[in-house]
Amino acid sequence: MEIAKPYLLFLGDVHDQLAAKTAQGIVDWRRDWCVGQLRLEGCKADTGLPDKTIAEAAKAGAKTLVVGVVNAGGVLAPHWIDSIVAAIEAGMDVATGLHTRLGDTPKIAAAAKKHGAKLFDVRHPTQTFPTGKGNLRSGKRLLMVGTDCSVGKKYTALAMEKGMRDRGFDADFRATGQTGIFISGRGVAVDAVVADFIAGAAEWLTPDADPMHWDVVEGQGSLFHPSFAGVTLGLLHGAQPDAFIVCHEPTRRTMRGVDTPIPSIGEVIDLTIALGKLTNPAITCVGLSVNTEHLGEDAAFSVLDRLSREYELPATDPVRFGVEPLVDAVAELYGEPEPKPKARSTARRAR
């Protein structure tokens, strides 16, 4: 799947910033791939990119309109169709992470055929997967788990990949959702995989590797979320993590989209270990990633200090304060990366 860049990010008329998290994630990690954002009347989200019409974006060189929104059920709103068709008519391809396939909308399919545009349904894997086998694999895996949806699992994984690489670890981010795929260029949207094959898809994504290689796996949903726990469990079993980080947003009281109370971090740790032992008996929690976006700095430090003392684990906000404490924890438990041998010089010594 080769999605042409640069992107025009379509935000539609979403009602809050979290609903545009796909677009925001692309901007945060691949801003240089974007020429602007397209918002409809009533849109309450803003990625900080310049607002552009389709004509302005085409003139600026946009190659693909990326539908950068998420919603319950991953549906394509009917009143977005005209904007998508207009982008196709302006010479752009279209990519989306929604469950609704672009080609299933006759008006979009007809426009794409007429203008030779490519339609990318990133959430729908083009590959088939076997059922999970649960066999222990070589290499190491670090999984992000959450007390809820949209608490920072993807950002934590991306920050950990960078932090671990900077420290000398052999580490790769493994995308399990549409935004991560847009950012990394590879992955599988596990929530679009038939339930029987979720664990198998996660095994495919994190195969046998060098003993010191780390797959840093983006988490999905929450084991406690009544809507998405099935996806979370399949990913946990298939990813077979040696270690996991709990991601948490401390100001929430109920889980996103439902009235279910937020579980405690301790409950998440205990259940993740209990269920994760099925495929990796050595699974352990190495730290806490706390999204302090809605807290002042003093309050953020207070929450991090309290949680760290309560659970005897390092706690940080990766976006605000960095991931060094979490990388330290990985290094302490599993060893520092081996220094790479220096390349031998082939130059002759001067006589």
Residue 339 domain flag:
no
| 93 and 148 assigned to the same domain | no
Alpha-carbon distance of 169 to 160, in angstroms, equals: 10
pLDDT of residue 70: 84
Q: Give the per-residue pLDDT at 124.
A: 85
Asked whether residue 212 falls in the same domain as residue 114, the answer is no
Distance CA 96, CA 64 (A): 10
| Residue 341 is assigned to a structural domain of this protein | no
Q: Across-strand partners of 143? A: 217, 244
Q: Which of 272, 294, 292 is nearest to 283 (CA)?
A: 272
Contact 12, 37 (CB under 8 A): no
pLDDT tens per residue across span 84-142:
999 999 999 999 988 899 999 999 999 999 999 999 998 887 789 999 999 999 999 99
pLDDT at 325: 98
Q: What does DSSP assign to residue 292? A: -
**14: Cβ–Cβ under 8 A, 6 or more apart, which residues?**
20, 43, 44, 45, 69, 71
- Domain limits for position 172: 140-334
Interatomic CA distance for residues 273 and 143, integer angstroms: 12
Classify residue 243: in a domain, yes or no: yes
Q: Return the minimum-mean-pLDDT range out of 38-42, 180-184, 257-261.
A: 180-184
CA distance 64 to 21: 18
Name 119's bridge partners. Answer: 94
Full-model pTM: 0.82
Q: Please check whether residues 92 and 232 belong to one and the same domain.
A: no
**Which of residues 311 and 97 earns the better pLDDT score?**
311
Within a domain: 11: yes
% of the chain at pLDDT higher than 70: 96
DSSP string, 27-82: HHHHGGGEEEEEE-TT-----SSPB--HHHHHHTT--EEEE----TT----GGGHH
What pLDDT score does 348 carry? Answer: 37
Any domain includes 229: yes
Contacting residues for 136 by C-beta, under 8 A, at least 6 apart: 240, 279, 280
Does residue 169 sit in helix, strand or coil? coil
Q: What CATH code is carried by the domain that includes residue 71?
A: 3.40.50.720
Please name which of 57, 37, 33, 56 lies closest in space to residue 45, comparing C-alpha atoms.
37
DSSP 209-229: --TTEEEEEPP-S-TT-TTTH
E-strand stretches of the chain: 7-12, 34-39, 64-67, 93-96, 119-121, 140-146, 170-174, 213-217, 243-248, 284-290, 315-316
pLDDT of residue 351: 30
322 and 222 in a single domain? The answer is yes
CA distance 222 to 346: 54
Of 94, 121, 148, the one marking the end of a domain is 121
> Are both 177 and 241 inside the same structural domain?
yes
pLDDT of 341 reads: 57
Domain stop point among 71, 88, 121: 121
pLDDT score, position 186: 82
Q: How confident is the model at residue 185 (pLDDT cuts 50, 70, 90)?
A: confident
How far apart, in whole angstroms, are the C-alpha atoms of residue 111 and residue 122? 19
Angle at 268 between CA 262 and CA 270, to 5 degrees: 145
Total structural domains in the chain? 2
